A and B are shown apart, each in its own frame.
Chain A
Amino acid sequence: MSKMHVKLKVNGDEVEGLAEPRTLLIHFLRENLKVTGPHVGCETSHCGACTVDMDGKSVKSCTVFVAQAQGADVTTVEGLVNPDGSLSVLQEMFREHHGLQCGFCTPGMITRAHRLLQENPTPTEEDVRFGMAGNLCRCTGYQNIVKAILAAAEINNAQKEAAE
């Protein structure tokens, strides 16, 4: 099959490449673009390790063809850092609350949690657990992931209030 000319935005930059339409977005990101934040956990749409933000939605990039992402705006965990390159509040809270052990699920967890907090800046613990249900972790038992996300929400809201 012939390759197609793919153009999309990744972490704010316009990127292009040649790829077969059947190439999965996760493989295009990791192999063509060397954006290796999103991980391949299961490749069967179950684990969420490959989660990226695509046009404002949390999406499993192992279940999207690069052709479908033509023209899309994609953000990965790499794109969530502060403009000066330091860790975002959410990333920092994962570190502080031990929201990771082996770290394999973490890029997907953080990318998903980022969108969750954009949509619901004041989640309850229940909201966090329901909203993170598409991401599996084999190490932490989730407790600390939930704590990290709730702590990030609290800090974000305090900062917002202080700025007002």
Chain B
Amino acid sequence: MIPAGFEYHRPTDMASAIGLLQAHGDEARVVAGGHSLIPMMKLRMASLSHLVDLQGIAELRGIELGADVIRIGAMTTQNELITHEGLAQAVPILREAALQIADPQVRYVGTIGGNVANGDPGNDMPGLMQCLDASYEVVGPDGTRTIAAREFYDSAYFTARSDEEILTRITLPCPAAGTGYAYEKQKRKIGDYATAAAAVLFGPGGASIAMTNLADTPVWSAEAGAALAAGDTEGAVSAALAAIDPQEDMRGPIEFKKHVAGVVLRRAIDRALSRAAG
């Protein structure tokens, strides 16, 4: 379990980091917490000759709570998301979901930026970010652009980010006061990726539903959200289930996954409705 050799870089500002990515092209990769990348490197499923560590870049850290939006630096760890009281007040679904990711050790180092940039359909944050209508700021040689989470994922491991761009920040609109929420995840054991997971928001601002690990990208369904907002729970469930496309793997055959998807989705909807004010 030893990865191939590489040269290590620890830039302290964004310009140097992007310079390294430009200089080395697809031979270079950034590393955040490394808890998706290093296992892939050990299996030799990811190969690179320059590893650009983002830990020294201070501007990639920090959580800013605004009145209407929240900004989270890409290098914020899952543990930092969980322990931030203001964030848990403003967007409680974020803590609820982060607590269901992996195990304590992984959450101390795994970052939100790495989780959303990775493009692995098993990651929990991308679906949640689509549910919350987050957007990602990416910075590259040509400057800064903002990409909606709902537009970011093309297929497994392929995203709208180009190789020379670094994801710097995630912006979330604050859910309206009184919004009910739930993140429900079925997994084989602690530390496992989802067999199926569902993120649901329901409140004065409308409703939103996204699902995880049930296709090669996260699945956000506009119709499901609209049905739920109109009070049609069964319509919401059937719209969301019509949008998934699970594949058979060690977590089970397709029929089983569809069944589990329905179970977690109904639970998430029930819990979100029961938590909504009024």
Contacts and interface: CB of A to CB of B under 8 A. Distances in A.
Given A63-B35, A133-B104, A44 B1 contact: yes
B30 to A, nearest CB: 12
Contacts of A63: 34-35, 38-39, 109
B106 A134 contact: yes
B96 to A, nearest CB: 14
Given A43-B1, A65-B34, A131-B104, A22 B39 contact: no
Contacts of A65: 8, 34, 38, 51
B105 A60 contact: yes
Contacts of A51: 105
Contact of B104 (A1, A21, A64, A112): A112
A58 B10 CA distance: 22
Interface in A66-101: 67-68, 70
Range class of the B interface residue count = 20 to 34
A96 to B, nearest CB: 25
A42 B105 CA distance: 15
Judged by DSSP, the binding face of A is: loop
Interface string B1-19: 1111111101000000000
A64 B190 CA distance: 21
B210 to A, nearest CB: 25
Nearest to B77: A57
Given A58-B105, A134-B106, A22 B6 contact: yes
Given A44-B1, A48-B103, A65-B8, 7 more contacts: A21-B6, A22-B5, A57-B108, A60-B106, A65-B34, A67-B8, A116-B104
